[in-house]
Chains A and B, each alone.
Chain A
């Protein structure tokens, strides 16, 4: 191993979550960054890699006849159940993991030591890959009504906003500063997405410090400026994504929500999405359901219902759909907030953008969306993901919910995303992995202080390199679907087995259609090339033309694919590998209820040897 080996323990068993299989037996290694388990009993070398940062809890269970059990839960929903022969070893592993999985100082995070051996220039280029200015340009900003202002360059307006923000031209500096004093943590209304077709804007902010009667002229002017930037609609929506009760309770603390009487032509609306604490406990309940040992159908469905998880997902989706509809159909601008405007607001603004604009459904666009609505606007990844040892009450699966909403959309619109489920899982993994700098810290200011841009790498170029395996072969291109209008009836939402039971391979479909299609599309170019080559070798004869049998690729699918040229299909694919018989061999040995863990390498990233 390349890394420093901290600990090595022999005779460790890795239990299968579904009992009756014989447990693997092997060696457990701890490096500075990973826990690595090598199964010695398997014919082929099987490794399980767990990144320390992915570990959310380590538990010692009561002694069994087999030894001392250690149960590890990961933030990417991997659960590993080890049994260690010696108590002393078990204790050593336990204490080491506790320490390694809960770094105290930011400098201890993996990103600061991760070295993919690329040049300095490449690293810097990587950070420039996503340029938010380009996205605003795409929306036509700056224009007559909106400008990219550097008014926050010294973080005077808001310490958790980026230096550059998009505000209405009509809003003077005095209006901005005044509004910032009236908004919780200075998070003033700024533009998140401008729908070019009709000038309706999606804006976001935090709750106003309205209390029971306070008002602020500048804030009212700010909203007026936003409304007037969209002359096509006489009113604007102000959407509070909290349940009404929560918002009212906030009034007692001098915060609260906008009074319709004080603001000109606003339509105020509550959308009840629960707070981070409710979401955290909901996920906890969901995971308990997922981990049940051989539950009955009833147990599972009742547990799923009681967890409330899908109810919350639906609430977020409903909110996103409402925003998108307001912008598209009512041509109205919308201002969204919750309490601080960095959790629920980020969820619904990014979801609405994704519904409205096909660009955000491409690789690049999705990266822009996350950089813009989540990273730049100060979603507190570090706290919500528990990167550092800190307040457990700050942890919440807000981003996970957003990722799941996107997945739910993929189920309804299988041809409208350039990327597949795997891309989502990959991003989700790295939000927790701390391997790249993007998700460290809580806001732009903090990332500057941590010198993220000098000391760490950006995730995006690494994902783009793997575009080939992360793409969606069914994608019909940018122009095929404009807005998405998902069905949000309860039965449209499915339990996401591929996320929450991702590491229980036995529960996943045994044959993967995605792989099959990917191999078809990646063979495409090689096959076309060899066909062309062969044709050129053949002398022009009077005989039957060999190309007759082949219908034109321009028919149907291939034509629709035009906007995504074969740039991604260049990876050397096996010529004529005659359709890989995926998994046919693998399930040969599985028992009648084969919910077995079979991945040879559980850890999805960290491709170092």
Chain B
């Protein structure tokens, strides 16, 4: 974005950086400005950078096929046989925002799925999001049921959900809207699972803010961070007024709740809001970070992003079009994915040894979600990506990230696999502003980077020493063994 006047162009970037160019000559300046303007607001996706980007590296592994749902299912099959892969959506006709393949309860056939799809907003019928190996509980996600004002019901929907319950056990529906909003939704044909029809399910409303509220909050926070004239009171009051950290706290609380239902209560969970493409995904993916150690590895986290965000149909193109500096009101713009990344960062800060990746990895994902030379975050769902032929025409982010050279930049030296559930604190005192994103361009980071380097060195040297000692021990033992053989 730019605001140009008399030889000065101010470029406000999606990664929140602000660059000022002083250009001699009015005409050149205007030319450059209009070029930047035109190039940064392309109408057609196919004119975007990923379609012209030619990688300067050798592709070792094609990222487009690194995380297929089939692999995920294979893993699941090793734990349980209650689920199956369904290709009911292979033409994207049952649900346009779902991928071609989904995981559903084994006992429900494709015919039933089609019926359930008609009963759920946007055709997003309940699918498996996460299977908790420890106790066999499942987390599913969907969109709201279309009960409408007259309390429409759908036998197949009830059967589908109930099939995930153990006999005699109850489940929890986590609705990410407040009750009042859910009730209002009925007037527009939406609604929620009524207890009479879903007697085995308890509904919990856990409000998570949506679209424009989040975007406003994002804009306010960035404004506050960029204004260096504030005194302390003004800064704190602006930070508070942005509500950003409130959203973070609410989101983490909801994720803890979902994780608690599964791990503590031993219950299955269904999560949805209205469309099931935003707050729903935030909750299900964060709950997995808390519950599943695999999601805290680099590979596992990438798989989570692919599974719960890209394949699950989070509309990246709509949500991440402009970032915080947009002048024009973008109806669909919202930092939903950024909020998720920040929540991961907050958990990371509380469990600094339990994640294989570092903060830079999260920041990198934030940048690429908003602007990238890779095609990964283009389009709003798998359907659109298939139509754009992204896998054929563009490079996948994962092809680049998963190269050993790149990976080494994103590794957390403190990582030690932690197989336990990690419960973050959501007390305000425990949550901090994500400086790595919001203050990144506003203050020197030299000293913090030096500290990071120092940490790396200490741990690296320690590991090397240990390896060396172990190796020497082994050698000595071998020698001694040899001598014993020779001497007698």
Contact = CB atoms under 8 A, between A and B. Distances in A.
A212 interface: no
Interface of A: 290, 294-302, 304-305, 308, 310-311, 314, 412-416, 473-474, 476, 487, 489-495, 497, 501, 504, 506-511, 513, 516-517, 520-521, 523-524, 527-528, 530-531, 534-535, 537-539, 546-547, 549-551, 553, 555-558, 560, 576, 578-579, 581-582, 584-585, 587-588, 590-595
B404 interface: no
A584 B476 contact: no
Interface in B432-488: 432-433, 435, 439, 442-444, 447-448, 450-451, 453-455, 457-459, 461-462, 464-473, 475-476, 479
B469 A491 contact: no
Given A297-B249, A476-B454, A490-B235, A524 B468 contact: no
Contact of A557 (B246, B439, B457): B457
A493 B232 contact: yes
A299 B429 CA distance: 11
B402 interface: no
A534 B473 contact: yes
A501 B458 contact: no
Interface in B406-449: 414, 416, 418, 420-423, 425-433, 435, 439, 442-444, 447-448
Given A310-B232, A510-B350, A557-B458, A301 B428 contact: yes
Contacts, number: 224
A547 B468 contact: yes
Interface stretch (B237-245, B278-286, B294-302, B392-400): B237-245
A523 B462 contact: yes
B430 to A, nearest CB: 5
B387 to A, nearest CB: 42
A214 B464 CA distance: 72
A531 B469 contact: yes
Interface string B211-236: 00000000000000100101111111
Given A493-B232, A549-B468, A509 B352 contact: yes
Interface string B68-82: 000000000000000
A296 B454 contact: no
29 contacts: A296-B249, A297-B240, A297-B246, A297-B248, A299-B428, A304-B236, A308-B233, A310-B232, A413-B447, A489-B442, A489-B443, A490-B234, A493-B232, A511-B352, A513-B352, A521-B458, A523-B462, A523-B465, A527-B462, A527-B465, A527-B468, A549-B467, A549-B471, A557-B454, A557-B457, A557-B458, A581-B418, A591-B260, A593-B423
Interface of B: 225, 228, 230-237, 239-240, 243, 245-246, 248-249, 253, 256-257, 259-260, 264, 349-354, 414, 416, 418, 420-423, 425-433, 435, 439, 442-444, 447-448, 450-451, 453-455, 457-459, 461-462, 464-473, 475-476, 479
Most chain A beta carbons < 10 A, residue from B245, B444, B466: B466
Given A520-B458, A594-B423, A301 B353 contact: no
A510 B425 CA distance: 9
Dominant SS among interface residues on chain B: helix
A78 B81 CA distance: 52
Given A501-B429, A510-B425, A528-B465, 12 more contacts: A297-B245, A305-B237, A474-B454, A491-B225, A509-B351, A510-B350, A557-B453, A557-B457, A557-B458, A584-B353, A587-B422, A588-B421
